[in-house]
Amino acid sequence: MKIICIGRNYTEHIREFDGGEPSREPIFFLKPDTALLRNNDPFYIPSFSREVHYETELVVKINRVGKCIAERFAYRYYEEVGLGIDFTARDLQREAMAAGLPWEPSKAFDYSAAISPNFVKLSDLGAGIDDLSFEMTLNGQLRQRGECARMIFSVDRIISAVSRFMTLRMGDLIFTGTPAGVGPVAHGDVVRATLMGRPMLEFEIR
């Protein structure tokens, strides 16, 4: 399986990130399967970064094989969603971007893709993909709130765009981009996240 991550998908996050313009097409990058952090296991801050940020994102699980998927048929390729944290070594990312180098060291490191233990069917949530909302708290304080209706590129648009370049397979995960409010984590922090009010993630930073 592969983990596909979308960047620059919420206007307010682009503003806080670099103040640049939204892109014309979805921007994506990959994390390897060794990046997965499951079962609410603790996240250990890696020694190579002094500034690891959380990015809370809706995660869509692909449930069939597809390539060059038309946007209007994209809904057929998923039915379950979860939440994830796209952990980012922001200091390394800034250095890489400034030097025009790839982002992988800052984004694809081990355990940088935390996912909720459970994924939920959209039918059980009683909402369409574009009507979902999620929240993340750090030590009980609200830090991020995402509404899919505010995404620059919808989930269906993302699936259509990415599948032009690479075949999607059952079990692939798409991190759909972070809303505003990203920030650093520190030893002892507790991350919690809810999807439509349902607890999905709860783990500790070590």
Given the rule CB under 5 A, which residues bind Mg ion?
Answer: 55, 86, 178
88 vs 163, which CB is nearer to Mg ion?
88
Cβ atoms 74, 160 nearer than 8 A: yes
Tell the smallest beta-carbon distance from residue 125 to Mg ion (Å): 22
Q: How far is the CB of 126 from Mg ion (least distance, A)?
A: 27
Minimum CB distance to Mg ion smaller for 86 or for 135:
86
Residue 10 or 203 having the CB closest to Mg ion: 10
Q: How far is the CB of 201 from Mg ion (least distance, A)?
A: 15
Specify the residue, 86 or 140, whose C-beta has the smaller distance to Mg ion: 86
Compute the distance between CA of residue 203 and CA of residue 33 in angstroms, rounded to an integer: 20
Is 88 exposed, middle or buried, given 0-12, 13-18 or 19+ CB atoms closer than 10 A? buried
**Minimum distance from residue 10 beta carbon to Mg ion (Å):** 10
Identify which of residues 112 and 178 has a Cβ nearer to Mg ion in the complex.
178
Q: Specify which residues 66 forms β-bridges with.
A: 168
Nearer to Mg ion, 13 or 119 (CB): 13
Task: Report whether 25 contacts 161 (CB < 8 A).
Answer: yes
Q: In whole angstroms, how close is the CB of 6 to Mg ion at the nearest point? A: 7
Q: If DSSP states are collapsed to H, E and C, what string results for 102-122?
A: CCHHHHCCCCCEEECCCCEEH
Backbone angles phi, psi at 60, to 5 degrees: -110, 130
Question: Does residue 29 sit in helix, strand or coil?
Answer: strand
Would you state the structure tokens that stand for residue 146, as one six-digit string? 């995402």
142 neighbors 135 (Cβ within 8 angstroms):
yes
> Smallest distance, Å, CB 58 to Mg ion?
11
Q: Please name the residue that has the structure tokens 């069917």.
A: 121
- Tokens in use for 190? 């507790």
Residue 206 is given by DSSP the state: -
